[in-house]
């Protein structure tokens, strides 16, 4: 732990401000102790000169699949957190269902924490999971024991994973009163099971390729699911969050609810089903990208606050898994952790879709508040962790999976040029990544985060 440090000559991105504020930060014990116009003279601390750079709160990526332990041929906590750090992310929250064993109770969560703590280079939290197979007489005990350890509880209304079956509407009416009682947010992968199940046969009969896969789970599948699950949450008064929104109508439903929030992912803002037909498996994700008319509508809702924040849904597959010869069997998921913040910075903020204050809400503050880690994370403020990203706002980022620090090599983003370049990422006052140098801390530097109760 570094005892004392000064970041000086910075253009600071402070909460609620659309103009960066010139100044310096005094950091002690990994925490921001002062925000000052000029550093105090006579200090013998480490000094980092941020001349010409915008210094923002580190991005929070509240939706990643690092597959660790169990499927580390796709990704692991070292490569996953390293890739995220290279994209300005200082905290990730990892999903429960794509590790072996799945993180479905307190014992599994503690075991996963012990395992991945040795590899993380940035701070991390977990989501726990409840599948339809776990709605038995131990359900309340599992939720009660998990709730203090995790940022939320992930469920699937339609699931592709045999070992992690879907939750039915009836089961949500049993789960949500318990998560309300034990103060946990339920996250939902929202695609209507009845619609998808019936559309699949027609879509498969119609052929192969991106458009065929899209037709098995089009806009209406998301709208129906979001309407139903958020209606149950309203009825119960339970906190709910809808992950990876790809449909503006579904996002509108979420925005009209009292107890639900939603997230956008770069892939649904950038790509549509015509891109999917052209690019194929490298863009295969579930839910699939939607019609071209959705993209600007989603951007608008992210800008005006109807969509709460952004996340990557990082979930890379190997070259072999992504090239099986049919879109129906190719792995569904893409690497997005390193892309999340640079993309939103470039296409949201620098492209003028929203201002600096909204960028901070979308990339850091709102997720920290929603998942109750805002006592330490999410903003440049006295008393918060010195989690910072230093950005050259006029620099350029070119997405290149072949040199990514993540294991993900198959990406629809290959060659995408973005405005702005992450020069340095800092977690609790320590530089964890520098452009041109890579990761600058040992595996295991990252700390496990629990939500405040
Ligand atoms: Zn996901």
Alpha carbon separation from 304 to 252, 349, 352 (Å, rounded): 12, 13, 13
* Residue 222: closest CA among 173, 285, 174: 285
HSE, side-chain direction, 13 A CA sphere, residue 135: 19
Average pLDDT per block of 10 residues along the chain, 453 residues long: 81 98 96 88 78 97 96 97 98 94 94 97 98 95 98 94 90 98 98 96 93 97 98 98 98 98 98 98 98 98 98 98 97 98 98 98 98 98 98 98 97 98 98 98 98 88
Does residue 431 lie within any of the structural domains?
Answer: no
63 C-alpha vs ligand 1 centroid, how far in Å? 6
Instruction: Give the distance (Å) from ligand 1 centre to CA of residue 10.
Output: 35
Cα-based torsion angle of the residue sequence 428, 429, 430, 435 in order, rounded to the nearest 10 degrees? 110
For position 42, what pLDDT does the model report? Answer: 59
Number of domains in the chain: 1
Interval between CA 61 and ligand 1 midpoint (Å): 12
Distance (angstroms) between ligand 1 centre and the Cα of 439 equals 25
CA of 246 to the centre of ligand 1 (A): 13
- Rounded Cα distance, 89 and 127, in Å: 18
Closest CA to 401 of 346, 336, 348: 336
DSSP 8-state class, residue 365:
I
Whole-angstrom distance, CA of residue 381 vs CA of residue 93: 22
Distance in Å, CA 337 to ligand 1 centroid: 12
Per the omega criterion (within 30 degrees of 0), is the bond before 109 cis? Answer: no
For ligand 1, the distance from its centroid to the CA atom of residue 334, given in whole angstroms, is 10
Is 18 inside a domain boundary?
no
Which residues keep their CB under 5 angstroms from ion ligand 1?
313
Q: What share of the chain is helix, strand, coil (3-state, %, to 5)?
A: 30, 25, 45
Strands (E), 203-341: 240-245, 260-264, 309-310
Query: What is the CA(182)–ligand 1 centre distance, in A?
Result: 24
Rounded Cα distance, 69 and 116, in Å: 7
Q: In sequence order, what DSSP letters do the residues of 78-138 get, joined into one string?
A: HHHHHHHHHTTEEEEEE-STTSSS---SHHHHHHHHHHHTTT-SSEEEE-EE--GGG-STT
* Burial grade of 352 (CB within 10 A; 0-12, 13-18, 19 or more): exposed
Q: Rounded to the nearest whole angstrom, what is the distance from the C-alpha of residue 127 to the centroid of ligand 1? A: 11
Contact 341, 58 (CB under 8 A): no
φ, ψ of residue 390 in degrees (nearest 5): -100, 120
Distance from C-alpha of 56 to C-alpha of 65, rounded to nearest angstrom: 25
Among 242, 339, 330, residue whose Cα is nearest residue 285:
330
The Cα–Cα gap between 141 and 121 comes to 32
- Map residue 59 onto helix, strand or coil: strand
Q: Kindly report the pTM of this predicted structure.
A: 0.97
Q: Residue 287 C-alpha to ligand 1 middle, in angstroms?
A: 9
Cα radius of gyration (the chain): 21
Cα 281 to ligand 1 centre (Å): 17
Q: Is residue 411 part of a domain?
A: no
Q: How far is the CA of 188 from the centre of ligand 1 (A)?
A: 10
Ligand 1 centroid–CA 173 distance in Å is: 23
* Domain ranges, residue 250: 58-370
As a whole number of angstroms, the distance between CA 23 and CA 25 comes to 7
Cross-sheet strand order for the sheet of 123-126: 59-64, 89-94, 123-126
pLDDT value for 43: 60
Residue matched to tokens 């709730």: 147
Where residue 337 sits, what CATH number does that domain have? 3.20.20.140
Q: How far is the CA of 96 from the centre of ligand 1 (A)?
A: 10
Asked if the structure places residue 317 within a domain, the reply is: yes
Residue 209 structure tokens: 């390729």
Backbone angles phi, psi at 140, to 5 degrees: -65, -40
CA of 302 relative to ligand 1 center, distance in Å: 19
CA of 311 to the centre of ligand 1 (A): 9
Structure confidence at residue 161 (pLDDT) = 77
Q: Judge whether 47 lies within some domain.
A: no
Q: Which of 430, 384, 425 is nearest to 82 (CA)?
A: 425
- 415 CA from centroid of ligand 1 (Å): 24
Pick from 344, 356, 368, 422: nearest CA to 15? 356
What's the 313 CA to ligand 1 centre distance in angstroms?
A: 5
Ligand 1 centroid – CA 93 distance (Å): 11
Whether a cis peptide bond, with omega within 30° of 0, leads into 287 is yes
How far does residue 117's CA lie from ligand 1's centre (Å)?
A: 21
Calculate how far, in angstroms, residue 64's C-alpha sits from the geometric centre of ligand 1: 6
Burial 389-399 (b: 16+ CB within 10 A, else e): bbbbbebebeb
CA 134 – ligand 1 centroid, Å = 20
Residue 151 included in any domain: yes
Give 310 Cα–ligand 1 centroid separation in angstroms: 13
Residue 403 falls inside a structural domain: no
Q: Domain for residue 422, yes or no?
A: no
Neighbouring residues of 72: CB distance < 8 A, sequence distance ≥ 6: none
Q: Rounded to whole angstroms, how far apart are CA atoms 113 and 379?
A: 25
């Amino acid at each position: 732990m570094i005892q004392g440090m000064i970041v000086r000559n910075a253009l600071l991105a402070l909460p609620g401000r659309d103009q960066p504020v010139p100044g310096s930060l005094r950091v002690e014990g990994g925490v921001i102790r002062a925000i000052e116009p000029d550093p105090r003279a006579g200090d013998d601390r480490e000094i980092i000169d941020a001349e010409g750079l915008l210094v923002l709160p580190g991005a929070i990526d509240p939706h990643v699949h690092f597959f660790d332990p169990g499927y580390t041929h796709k990704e692991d906590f070292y490569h996953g957190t390293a890739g995220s750090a290279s994209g300005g992310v200082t905290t990730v929250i990892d999903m429960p269902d794509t590790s072996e064993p799945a993180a479905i109770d307190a014992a599994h969560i503690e075991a996963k924490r012990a395992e991945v703590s040795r590899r993380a280079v940035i701070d991390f939290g977990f989501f726990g999971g409840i599948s339809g197979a776990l709605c038995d007489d131990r359900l309340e005990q599992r939720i009660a024991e998990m709730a203090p350890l995790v940022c939320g509880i992930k469920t699937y209304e339609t699931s592709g994973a045999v070992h992690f079956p879907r939750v039915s509407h009836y089961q949500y009416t049993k789960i949500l009163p318990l998560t309300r009682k034990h103060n946990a947010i339920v996250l939902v992968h929202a695609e209507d099971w009845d619609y998808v199940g019936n559309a699949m046969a027609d879509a498969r009969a119609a052929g192969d390729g991106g458009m065929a896969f899209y037709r098995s789970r089009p806009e209406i599948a998301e709208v129906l699911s979001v309407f139903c699950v958020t209606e149950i949450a309203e009825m119960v008064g339970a906190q709910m969050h809808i992950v990876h929104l790809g449909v503006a109508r579904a996002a509108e439903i979420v925005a009209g609810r009292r107890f639900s929030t939603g997230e956008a992912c770069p892939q649904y803002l950038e790509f549509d089903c015509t891109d999917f037909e052209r690019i194929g498996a490298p863009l295969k994700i579930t839910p699939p990208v939607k019609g071209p008319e959705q993209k600007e509508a989603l951007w608008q809702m992210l800008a005006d606050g109807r969509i709460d924040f952004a996340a990557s849904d990082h979930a890379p597959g190997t070259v072999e898994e992504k090239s099986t010869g049919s879109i129906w069997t190719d792995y569904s998921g893409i690497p997005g952790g390193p892309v999340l913040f640079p993309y939103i910075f470039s296409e949201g903020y620098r492209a003028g879709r929203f201002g600096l204050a909204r960028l901070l809400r979308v990339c850091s503050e709102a997720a920290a508040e929603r998942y109750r880690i805002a006592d330490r994370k999410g903003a440049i403020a006295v008393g918060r962790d010195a989690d910072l990203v230093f950005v050259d706002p006029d620099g350029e980022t070119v997405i290149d999976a072949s040199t990514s620090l993540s294991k993900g090599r198959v990406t629809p983003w290959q060659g995408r040029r973005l405005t702005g370049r992450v020069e340095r990422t800092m977690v609790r006052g320590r530089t964890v990544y520098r452009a041109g140098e890579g990761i600058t801390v040992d595996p295991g530097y990252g700390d496990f985060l629990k939500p405040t109760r």
